[in-house]
Amino acid sequence: MRIVLLGAPGAGKGTQAKRLADRFHMRHLSSGDILRAEKSSGSDLGKTLAQYMDAGKLVPDDVVVRVMAQAIAAPRQETGLLLDGFPRTVPQARALDVQLEALGAPLDLVAAIDVPESLIVERITGRRSCPQCGEAYHVRFLPPRQAGVCDKCGSRLVQRDDDKEEVVRKRLAVYREQTEPLVEYYRRKDAGKVLFFDGAKAPDAVTADMVETLGRYQQSEG
């Protein structure tokens, strides 16, 4: 399956993407993780990215499309693809359509995770992430077994540079303006391929809903 995950900052895209990728043997590509890795490398491109990311702005389309096109084209074992955080604008979605059509591997589904904005700031400001393996936690909703330490690899957890409240509010405004219109973009192409999930439920309940729906889709196609 090739799936795009849509949702506001803090909707739970990264949390669910890791679980779904394991469950359905898909390659999980997170544009945020890929851009953060470049940023922390200290390269010239990384320094440019930091100016956008730390301010809660989108990185320009041409840069993101180039970086993500390379990642998508890289040969990998997994046949499926789960895109998390990309595309995020209509021009990015068009570029992705062109690339996937050229690869003969069009999108199967768009999974949109809905969460009311009232829940988002608490979710994001309480997030802690593992700088080694990328696992995400929440100090209240998804705490690690030992405070501040990754369950999976034992590294010390960190808070992202863009998870401060004022930056989160900027990211939400950018989402509403530039990313939310993608739901309509995909619905106009094929409304049957756009699925909505209630992301206000607890993490395991969201996973259960998504696994059930995607499992049914996979069976109907296979």
CA–CA dist 206, 199 (Å, integer): 6
Catalytic residue (choose from 18, 39, 88, 123)? 88
Residue 87: asked if its preceding bond is cis (omega within 30°), the reply is: yes
9 binds ligand AP5 (CB under 6 A): yes
For the chain, the 3-state helix, strand and coil shares in percent, each to the nearest 5, are 50, 15, 30
- Minimum CB distance to ligand AP5 smaller for 1 or for 49: 49
207 binds ligand AP5 (CB under 6 A): no
CA–CA dist 35, 179 (Å, integer): 18
For ligand AP5, which residue of 1, 3, 6, 13 counts as binding (CB under 6 A)? 13
171 binds ligand AP5 (CB under 6 A): yes
Quick check: is 123 catalytic?
no
Hey, what are 33's tokens? 């993780």
Hey, what are 216's tokens? 């049914």
Stretch that binds ligand AP5, among 83-91, 101-109, 189-197, 212-220 (CB under 6 A): 83-91
Contact 82, 33 (CB under 8 A): no
Quick check: is 47 catalytic?
no
DSSP state of 142: B
User: Interface with ligand AP5 by CB under 6 A: which residues?
Assistant: 7, 9-15, 31-32, 35, 52-53, 56-59, 64, 85-88, 92, 123-124, 126-127, 136-138, 141-142, 162, 171, 199, 201-203, 206
